[in-house]
Chain A
């Protein structure tokens, strides 16, 4: 087990290196460079040349990449071209906010998805089942920004129950209640699509498991229905569900970019969008590295969870 984990962690190196090369190339090959955007429409050729020189953009791409990699290996992600702040500080500060948002959305979608899925599977074709499949279709097909704005208009603008944006009150806020009130709308928005996916998958898997012989046996030996459904049914249905929850965790990290932008949530997503528009190369690379790293770690955690859930699975 320990060797397996060590091996998987070692695999991180080529994965992250690959990600960094791709991101570096995509950023540098897209037209328009940071000097161009910084100087805007007032730029003169002399200013551009000087600024490119100062920003180190005149060197061949390979040289720029190797220099950047050298710094990264020493734990230095460089400074943002625009804010002049160290990228590591910038990204680390924002990543916490993203974790709070995606973590909440993941909890929400897993809890609600499981509950909906299990209830639908135990009472197929009931009113609840049908309502939940309509809701799923709706949830899965709503673009995040549209759903977010609708929720904002209803719950902030019309009802005045919840703040429309940000993570804390503009001034003098703080505390759990302040955070929660700002968290509700973005977390629900972000969780919507995942909830429906988890619900549909849970329903399908549960229906299959509940048709198995051992479930009939469990019922035959007189177990109460709740024990049959949860202990014999849900536990055996968990492997595919956990896989999907793991995938959804990654999806939520990515989906957070849009949700954060709509709700002015101070996470990595808003930072990354800002960085891309400004061609802030070191900043975008730093953000992508952190997100990629979390994605890989989540996958590893899911794989390890299999062994815990199903004693037949071993990692040697």
Chain B
């Protein structure tokens, strides 16, 4: 290389840098909302994904028959304007709103509803092989058939009564898709979704952005800006910097350590909202000495949940008394709390025959959906338990490996969380704690079993009257908390940070990211 080439390169770099520095970083064009996601969406067919980030974008395009109003998870009409439930609880009949069309012009009718659900559960359906529907069985395993009664009336026939079925129909997997588009695109439909929602799919540049354009003929009236851009930015500091420099308008999943910094910054505002979520330390209810209720109660008294929420989560959680979200229709307001009381814990351990404590293991995932700060939280729990004589060996694992290991039934203590996405107690109590759901058949990894509790849950499933169901769930929760099958830790408080130009945004307790309510200043 000759001297002038070297000098040329150096000068070139210097000029380029100078050129760049001349112009400050630009803000977005008016009418474009830019949202920073923690990870890239996987695909945009909500029936085919299981992660929050895909749904944060994908659910803007499609809608469900029934839905939740802002700031609540009570079921209200969506694409269906009304419904009836048969006496035996086996048939749910919906009347669809008239005059709604999908973004591709296909009319919304009973056949589209049948298509959207049956493609997931009927292996002979023409669209069954066009995608993988991971939650089909979890949500719709109880659906025998979907019947078209007329163009605008559609009926779901169930195998057995399940009172939480309406809540299930608010799930992402229950979204109604355009049958024309699904058949036209085949396996690529998940990357070219067509629904009835407030936004139409625009474009997707992999690793960079998903662009959704305003649906000008949206049946509830068009949204107040032109488009939303979702950008995947994995690194927390990068997401924060982009927000503070005006390159992002909205971020969710703000790490607890950044909340204080953002709250003091005049460029942004911070929103908080408790989500339908529970973080718990599971206890293997079948293994000695954890099969003794007194021991499990002792563990609950030994752990300082307030300190975890205050010091580790920096206020991004509410201490939990049980699995069900407080202040929802099925929650028990008078639930017994386990305050931090090491003396009482030691006493209970002594009564159970362990005056000197015992040794056990705690499995913890390094990260995972809804896991907040698993390792830091577990470390506090470990030292709390040590203080009452329970020596805990902590083993951390990668999320995928962790889930596989929990299937072995060899767990003693384990850290896990649950996002039901809806407040119906059936969606958290039944899968996590009914004895029919013991792992590996279901998610009851604490191997909890109480016949009376099982009975109450089953009865509540067969009761359609909400007040009666609530009474049954309240009774079940009292039993449960007395049995202490887990150490109840916290309900996550979601944190969003917004640029000043973003107006009217509200976080939703279901963790859905409803940007359609926004207007831009």
A interface list, Cβ under 8 A from B: 30-33, 36-48, 50-51, 54-55, 79, 82-85, 90, 93-94, 97, 107-108, 111-112, 114-115, 118, 145, 149, 152-153, 156-157, 160-172, 177, 180-181, 184, 226, 230, 234, 261-267, 270-271, 273-274, 277-279
Shortest CB distance B47–A (Å): 12
Asked if residues B25 and A114 are in contact (CB atoms below 8 Å), the reply is no
Q: Apart from A152-B238, A164-B245, A166-B208, list 6 A-B contacts with CB within 8 A.
A: A45-B441, A97-B207, A162-B20, A170-B231, A261-B235, A274-B39
Nearest first, the 5 A-B pairs at minimum CB distance are A32-B400, A266-B207, A31-B401, A164-B241, A111-B9
B interface residues with partner A (beta carbon < 8 Å):
1-3, 6, 9-10, 13, 16-17, 19-21, 23-26, 28-29, 32, 34, 39-40, 42-43, 48, 50-51, 131-132, 134-138, 141, 187-188, 190-191, 205-209, 211, 227, 229, 231-235, 237-239, 241-242, 244-245, 247-248, 368-369, 398-405, 416-418, 431, 437, 440-443
Q: How far is the CA of A37 from the CA of B368 in the complex (A)?
A: 10
Kindly state the separation between the CA atoms of A54 and B123 in the bound complex, as whole angstroms: 11
Across-interface contacts of A156 in B (CB, < 8 A): 25, 241-242, 245
Contact A84 B187 (CB under 8 A): yes
Q: Is B440's CB under 8 angstroms from A45's CB?
A: yes
Contact A90 B441 (CB under 8 A): no
Asked if residues B191 and A32 are in contact (CB atoms below 8 Å), the reply is no
A23 to B236, CA, bound (A): 30
Q: Would A264 and B132 count as touching, CB distance under 8 A?
A: no
Contacts of B232 in A (CB 8 A): 264
> Chain A residues with Cβ under 8 A from B211's Cβ?
171
User: What's the Cα separation between A83 and B239 when bound, in Å?
Assistant: 24
Known: A84-B187, A171-B227. A165 touches B233 (CB 8 A): yes
> Would A270 and B400 count as touching, CB distance under 8 A?
no
Residues of A near B24 (CB, < 8 A) are: 160-161
Q: Is the interface of A mostly helix, strand, loop or mixed?
A: helix
Task: List B contacts of A84 (CB < 8 A).
Answer: 43, 48, 131, 187-188, 190-191
CA A302 to CA B440, docked complex, whole Å: 54
Which residues of B lie under 8 Å from residue A180 when comparing CB positions?
A: 16, 19-20
**Chain B interface main SS type:** mixed
Partner of A163, one of B10, B39, B187, B247: B247
A137 to B17, CA, bound (A): 25
| Distance to closest chain B CB from A226 (angstroms) | 6
Partner of B17, one of A37, A79, A165, A184: A184
Supply 13 A–B pairs (Cβ within 8 Å), ascending by A. Answer: A41-B403, A51-B132, A51-B134, A82-B42, A85-B188, A152-B238, A157-B241, A164-B245, A166-B247, A171-B29, A262-B235, A264-B233, A277-B399
Q: How far is the CA of A171 from the CA of B206 in the complex (A)?
A: 14
B43 to chain A: which residues have CB within 8 Å?
82-84
When distances are taken between beta carbons in the complex, the residues of chain A under 8 Å from B400 are 30-33, 36-37, 277, 279
Residues of A near B21 (CB, < 8 A) are: 161
Cross-chain contact A111 with B10 (CB below 8 angstroms): yes
- Minimum C-beta distance from A87 to chain B (A): 12
Pick from A47, A114, A162, A230: contact of B138, CB below 8 A: A47
Q: Do B25 and A160 have beta carbons less than 8 Å apart?
A: yes
**Cα–Cα, bound, A149→B205 (Å):** 25
B238 and A172 contacting across the interface, CB-CB below 8 Å: no
For the complex, what is the distance from the CA of A270 to the CA of B417, rounded to whole Å?
27
CB distance B231 to A166 under 8 Å? yes
> How far apart are the CA atoms of A270 and B231 in the complex, in Å?
13
* Chain A hits for B234, CB < 8 A: 261, 264, 270, 273
Nearest-neighbor residue (CB-CB) of B191 within chain A: A85
B6 and A111 contacting across the interface, CB-CB below 8 Å? yes
Is B19 a contact partner of A177 (Cβ separation < 8 A)?
Answer: yes
Smallest Cβ-Cβ distance to A30: which chain B residue: B401
Distance A222 CA – B10 CA, assembled complex (angstroms): 29
- Minimum CB–CB distance for A114 against chain B, Å: 6
Q: What are the residues of chain B within 8 A of A85 when measuring CB–CB? A: 188, 191
- Chain B residues near A167: list those with CB within 8 A: 208
B-chain residues with CB within 8 Å of residue A40 when the two chains form the complex: 50-51, 368-369, 403
